[in-house]
Amino acid sequence: MCCRILIVDDHPSFRASARVVLESDGFDVVGEAADGASALEECCRLRPEVVLLDVQLPDTDGFNVCAAITAHAQHPIVIMTSSRDGSDFGPLVTTSGACGFVPKAELSGERVQELLRS
């Protein structure tokens, strides 16, 4: 159940809440990043197994970051998240190489596990 995860989101309040939620569900939150560029750096440095990636970032959009992360051979699994509804993004989630989407308000360790198993 212990899974190394990196949280990428530009809102500190969400990063803090997500950390508490995921840790209380047994995840190991290894780091946080606030934008696309530092997300890629932290991915290389921390080598997480899962990246929880917000769609809307200040420097680029989450789908571009996802494509960059999954372009590497030994890449982590990416789960996209947003406060918008998943249906707003059409086919972008699957075409960007992400494993799945979870709305921010419904984030829990259980939902992440479900996506990882699928």
Partner 1 sequence: MSGLRRALGLVAVEGIVVGLVALAIVLSSDRVEGKAATAVLGLFLGWSWIGVGLYAWWRRPDNRFGVLMTAVGFAFFLTVLVSADAPALFTIGVLFSSLYLAVFVHMLLAYPDGRIESPRLRRVLAGGYALALLGPLPTLTVADSDVLGCECPESFLFITDAPTLFRVLDVITSTLAVVLVGYILYVLVKRWQVASQPQRSTMAPVLWSGICLLFVLAGSLTSMAVDGPEAVSDATSLLGMVIFALTPYGFLFGLLRSRVLRAGAVTELLHRLGDAPDRSGLREMLSEALGDRSLSLVYWLEDKRRWVDAAGRPATLPAEDDPARAFTRVEREGRAVGAIVHDRSLCEEQELVRSVAAAAGLSIENERLQAQLRARVEELRSSRARIVEAGTKERRRLERNLHDGAQQRLVALSLTMRLAQTRVHKDPDAAAELLGGAQEELARALEELRELARGIHPAVLSDRGLQPALEALAGRSPVPVELAGTPPQRLPAAVEAAAYFVVAEALTNVAKYANASQARICVSRSNGHAVVEVADDGVGGADPGRGSGLRGLADRVSALDGTLELRSPEGAGTMLRAEIPV
The whole-angstrom separation of Cα 61 and Cα 76 is 18
Among 74, 90, 105, 117, binds partner 1 (CB under 8 A): 105
Tokens of 93: 């989630």
Among 64, 83, 94, 95, binds partner 1 (CB under 8 A): 83
Phi-psi region of 90 (alpha: psi -120 to 50; beta: other; left: phi over 0): left
Among 8, 18, 78, 98, binds partner 1 (CB under 8 A): 18
Q: Does 55 bind partner 1 (CB under 8 A)?
A: no
Q: Does 60 bind partner 1 (CB under 8 A)?
A: no
Q: Does 92 bind partner 1 (CB under 8 A)?
A: no
User: What is the spatial order of strands in the sheet that 77-82 belongs to?
Assistant: 28-33, 4-8, 50-54, 77-82, 100-103
CB 12 within 8 A of CB 37: no
Cα–Cα nearest to 31, from 73, 76, 68, 1: 76
Number of residues lying near partner 1 (CB under 8 A): 17
Among 108, 113, 115, 116, binds partner 1 (CB under 8 A): 108
Judged by CB, which is closer to partner 1: 33, or 43?
Answer: 33
Instruction: Enumerate binding residues for partner 1 (CB under 8 A).
Output: 11, 13-14, 16-18, 20-21, 24, 56, 83-84, 104-108
